[in-house]
Amino acid sequence: MSTTPIPELITHKGFRMIKGIHFPHEVDQIRDLELRDSDVFVATFPKSGTIWMQQILLLLKCKGNKDSICKKDTLNNGDLVPWIEGPEKVQDFVKAEHPRYYVTHLPYHLIPQELSRRRGKVIYVARNPKDVLVSYYHFHKSLLVLETPKSFDEFFDKFMRGDVMAGSWFEHIKTWFSHKDDINMLFLTYEEMIQDLQIVVKKIAEFLGADLTQDQLNSVVKHSTFRNMRQDPHANYEKTDGVLINQQAGCFLRKGTIGDWKNHFTVAQSERFNEVFKQEMKDFPVSFIWDI
């Protein structure tokens, strides 16, 4: 297991990022990337369904048959649908085969500007932030480059201050929300994916103009369920064990449910969260399913 010290978080243009993994000059280059109409970005705040969308996009690309797309040396889905803000990813993006599918945790003002000129497509996935907080808390225990929280209470405060990788959840969604009706943007929620994956996959396929038969769409849905992703070595990131993740402490595919925050938040924390949410989101009418 890695014994290197945990890198610090630094803020660049409103994006809280990991020093030594994210570089300000690389992040700045992303804005000016030239896009093609076939480029697709998935934007999320961490823990909102990023790797779920990686799996769905890959499966749509290969019409439900992932074996045809995963090469022998493919470690994870992240090799095929990478984060654009990772090291040297800008150069890779320029050279990558088309269509290019990427994910990002960047706020809207740092993504390729051509997206706002309707070149390329973007899917934003939002998740109810109480569950995001809980998922992120557990993820901090397993991801080797993030500091293990001393306690849930300490992490709760950090999240509320925006002192986590990617920054404030509230600021992040606000930068994206006003673009949700752009013609080249699809706004989804994690909760609608949980409630009816079939419908959401169809919606994504239509948005991307992906031409799949019903059987192929069914295969995409089948291989994107929580249970099947847990068994898929590319989707579950098991090959990063000891490098990026300590799998004994946790994993990407932890629980996959709505409402786990109720097992973690105190009544006082929930009330405080509701108050901040009400205040911060008063001009942003996004509604979430908080539990089922």
* Comparison of 35 and 156: residue with beta carbon closer to ligand A3P: 156
Q: Tell the residue number behind the tokens 């001009």, with chain if given.
A: 283
Stretch that binds ligand A3P, among 45-53, 57-65, 69-77, 116-124 (CB under 6 A): 45-53
Length of the chain: 292
Closest CA to 149 of 162, 160, 164, 161: 164
Residues 6+ apart with CB under 8 A from 3: none
Q: Are 46 and 133 in contact (CB under 8 A)?
A: no
Q: Is 48 left (phi over 0), alpha (psi -120 to 50) or beta?
A: alpha
Residues 6+ apart with CB under 8 A from 95: none
Residues numbered 48-67 forming contacts with ligand A3P, rule: CB under 6 A: 48-52
**Least distance from ligand A3P to the Cβ atom of residue 60, Å:** 15
Active site residue 12: no
Q: How many CA atoms lie within 13 A of 54 on its CB side?
A: 26
Among 77, 189, 219, 224, interactor with ligand A3P by CB under 6 A: 224
Helix (H/G/I), strand (E/B), else coil: 223: helix
Residues numbered 139-178 forming contacts with ligand A3P, rule: CB under 6 A: none
**Least distance from ligand A3P to the Cβ atom of residue 201, Å:** 11
**Least distance from ligand A3P to the Cβ atom of residue 285, Å:** 23
Closest CA to 131 of 31, 263, 33, 266: 263
Does position 256 interact with ligand A3P (CB under 6 A)? The reply is: yes
Among 33, 35, 43, 46, interactor with ligand A3P by CB under 6 A: 46
Order of all β-strands in the sheet with 101-104: 101-104, 40-44, 121-126, 185-189
* Comparison of 35 and 217: residue with beta carbon closer to ligand A3P: 217
Stretch that binds ligand A3P, among 82-90, 209-217, 222-230, 270-278 (CB under 6 A): 222-230
Closest CA to 193 of 258, 130, 135: 258
**Least distance from ligand A3P to the Cβ atom of residue 80, Å:** 15
Q: Are 216 and 58 in contact (CB under 8 A)?
A: no
Catalytic residue among 22, 105, 140, 172: 105
Stretch that binds ligand A3P, among 72-80, 94-102, 249-257, 261-269 (CB under 6 A): 249-257
Among 17, 27, 42, 47, interactor with ligand A3P by CB under 6 A: 47
Q: What residues are labeled active site?
A: 105
Q: Contact residues for ligand A3P (CB under 6 A)?
A: 44, 46-52, 131, 135, 138, 194, 224-226, 229, 252-256, 260
